[in-house]
Amino acid sequence: MNNKMWIGIAIGAGVGLAYALSSRSKKSRWDRFDASEMTKKLADNREDLVQRGKDMMDRIRIIYEEGCKVVDDAGQLWQHGRKLVS
């Protein structure tokens, strides 16, 4: 019975040690936000970033224009409906 207890303690200690060693080697959440590293990434991908920004602005412009058309059409339908009711 005494041997089984020591084997259990050894297995538990081994699992705990393995977990501690594996979790220590991972980067923490704040290590990913290194300013110099982010600056290098932005500088390397500057053209792609600018192009994506332009594409997003074009899409937003199109959505805005289509939204204005929908609002204008809804206003005209509202006026037409009021004329029919009057």
Q: Which pLDDT belongs to residue 58?
A: 92
Chain-centre distance for alpha carbon 55 = 19
Query: pTM (2 decimals)?
Result: 0.48
Q: Where exactly are the structural domains of the chain?
A: 47-86
pLDDT tens over the chain, length 86 residues: 677 888 888 888 888 888 877 765 566 666 667 777 778 877 888 888 888 889 999 999 999 999 999 999 999 998 888 888 77
Q: Which pLDDT belongs to residue 40?
A: 83
- Give, for 43, the enclosing helix (H) or strand (E): helix 35-44
> How wide is the angle at C-alpha 43 spanned by C-alphas 42 and 49, nearest 5°?
55
Q: Which pLDDT belongs to residue 44?
A: 83
